[in-house]
Amino acid sequence: MFPNPANNRVTLSPADDINQDITKHIIVENTHNDTICDEYFLGCLEINTSLYESGIYLAHIFTENGEVVKRFVVTHE
């Protein structure tokens, strides 16, 4: 995921060790376990973080091969 920390957007790309040909399900949660984003995608995904509060987030990415969890930070100056 890049950039990290993020300001207005964060991008998840196939270079993140996740096969680009597999449909993925992503759930983004804040530190209070509130679901902020829940969607399916194929290939790259750009998440608009401009309305997210500054803080730490976990992206749970699910594929047919299992789950990968990525941590990212949102900062607004």
Query: SS3 for 14-35, per residue?
Result: HHHCCCCCCCEEEEEEECCCCE
| pLDDT tens digits along 23-56 | 789 999 999 999 999 999 888 899 999 999 999 9
In the chain, the number of structural domains is 1
**pLDDT for the residue numbered 42:** 84
**pLDDT for the residue numbered 10:** 95
CA angle 56, 9, 6 (to 5 degrees): 40
Whether residue 1 lies inside any domain: the answer is: no
Residue 16 has pLDDT above 90, yes or no: no
Q: What is the CATH number of the domain that holds 25?
A: 2.60.40.3080
Whole-prediction pTM: 0.86
Range of the domain at 63: 9-74
| Percent of the chain topping pLDDT 70 | 90
pLDDT band at 19 (very low <50, low <70, confident <90, very high): low
Whether residue 56 lies inside any domain: the answer is: yes
Whether residue 62 lies inside any domain: the answer is: yes
